[in-house]
């Protein structure tokens, strides 16, 4: 299974489908073939591995795969049927497939008389699936809401100036997290006020090899010469107003992770809607006062209704603090 996890990394880290690896073993435990998934529309890992064997060579073999074999026909056929047809006698997998349409492969294999064992090296196989797995379970991207503020919770001074509240180390961390995200989201207010490029950059201005897709939330028109229109990816304009529906649409496009950069109105809307899976707060050792708070109204009118957080980590970045937290589930 560790070898299957290793070769799964050969597949694309982004897109609709996950990174999956498969190793096919002979009865004596020797490796007959290996395979991995190369992206949407290409053979899944199990079929890729089987394609390297001669007819009948997989009879009585064991297939070790990081994700439960699928049981549906999409751009490719069901892997469960391919394994059955090849004569595989045992299938060992890590993570159960959470898909409404793709799950059920283990049950189909058992129905056909194949010995099946799941949950093997669950931590390692789960880690390889990355954001794909929670996004598949949620049926939307995993959402991180980020803001930077002074210690008194202000995102800007009274005159609107905000560059820079935090220092270079914190800003570098933000850009690394941008590069690791499939998409980066802002509201139309931020686009109109700041004209951000929403790119992931190094301190010297150079671009990361991987860039997030810009997503603009809101109904206001974005100028044709806006900086986001000149980046690596064409921006997506989420104009519908229903955040949950917009997230489902983004997931359908293969976006697994969404990094919300602001401004306060958009960040507050995601938090109020219960759609913030992770919160990143960069705190600068400064006091600004004034009305420009980092977060606006989230629908809380009394202390009993406060949204409580679980602090996952606190890290020092230069002079600043990074607090990583998740929203607690209400009983």
Residue 221 appears among annotated catalytic residues: no
Closest CA to 219 of 184, 188, 254, 256: 188
Instruction: Please give the structure tokens belonging to residue 321.
Output: 């603090």
Closest CA to 6 of 24, 20, 26, 25: 20
Residue-level length of the chain:
331
How far is 150 from 261, CA to CA, in rounded Å?
16
SS3 303: helix
Rounded to the nearest 5°, which phi and psi values hold at 49?
A: -65, -45
Whether residue 166 contacts residue 148, with contact meaning beta carbons closer than 8 Å, is answered with yes
Closest CA to 40 of 20, 68, 69, 67: 20
Instruction: Please give the structure tokens belonging to residue 202.
Output: 């190094």
**Residue list, annotated binding site for NADP(+):** 148, 164, 190, 194, 263-269
**Residue list, annotated binding site for Zn(2+):** 44, 70, 79
**Residue list, annotated binding site:** 44, 70, 79, 148, 162, 164, 178, 190, 194, 198, 201, 261, 263-269
**Residue list, annotated binding site for substrate:** 162, 178, 198, 201, 261
247 contacts: CB under 8 Å, gap ≥ 6: 140, 141, 143, 258, 275
Whether residue 107 contacts residue 114, with contact meaning beta carbons closer than 8 Å, is answered with no
Exactly one of 6, 34, 46, 81 is catalytic; name it. Answer: 46
Other C-beta atoms within 10 Å of 102: how many? 21
Rounded to the nearest 5°, which phi and psi values hold at 312?
A: -85, -35
Catalytic machinery residues: 46
């Amino acid at each position: 299974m560790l070898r299957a996890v290793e070769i799964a990394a050969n597949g694309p880290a982004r897109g609709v489908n996950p990174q999956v690896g498969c190793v096919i073993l002979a009865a004596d435990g020797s490796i007959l073939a290996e395979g991995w998934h190369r992206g949407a529309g290409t053979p899944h890992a199990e079929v890729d591995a089987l394609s390297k064997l001669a007819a009948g060579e997989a009879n009585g073999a064991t297939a070790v795969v990081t994700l439960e074999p699928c049981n549906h026909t999409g751009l490719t056929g069901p892997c469960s049927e391919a394994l059955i047809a090849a004569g595989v006698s045992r299938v060992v997998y890590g993570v159960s497939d959470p898909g409404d349409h793709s799950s059920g492969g283990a049950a189909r294999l058992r129905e056909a008389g194949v010995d099946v064992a799941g949950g093997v090296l669950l931590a390692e196989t789960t880690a390889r699936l990355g954001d794909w797995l929670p996004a598949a379970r949620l049926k939307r991207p995993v959402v991180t809401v980020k803001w930077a503020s002074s210690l008194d919770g202000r995102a800007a001074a009274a005159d609107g100036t905000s560059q820079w509240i935090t220092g270079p180390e914190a800003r570098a961390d933000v850009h690394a997290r941008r590069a690791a995200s499939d998409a980066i989201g802002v509201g139309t207010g931020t686009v109109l006020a700041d004209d951000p490029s929403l790119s992931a950059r190094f301190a010297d201005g150079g671009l990361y090899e991987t860039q997030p897709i810009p997503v603009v939330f809101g109904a206001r028109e974005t100028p044709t010469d806006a900086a986001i229109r000149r980046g690596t990816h064409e921006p997506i304009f989420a104009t519908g107003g229903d955040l949950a529906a917009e997230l489902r649409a983004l997931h359908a496009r293969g976006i697994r992770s969404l990094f919300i950069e602001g401004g306060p109105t958009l960040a507050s809307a995601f938090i109020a809607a219960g759609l913030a899976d992770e919160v990143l707060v960069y705190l600068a050792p400064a006091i600004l006062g004034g009305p420009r708070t980092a977060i606006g109204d989230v629908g809380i009118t009394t202390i009993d209704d406060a949204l409580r957080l679980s602090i996952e980590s606190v890290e020092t970045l230069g002079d600043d603090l990074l607090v990583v937290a998740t929203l607690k589930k209400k009983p």
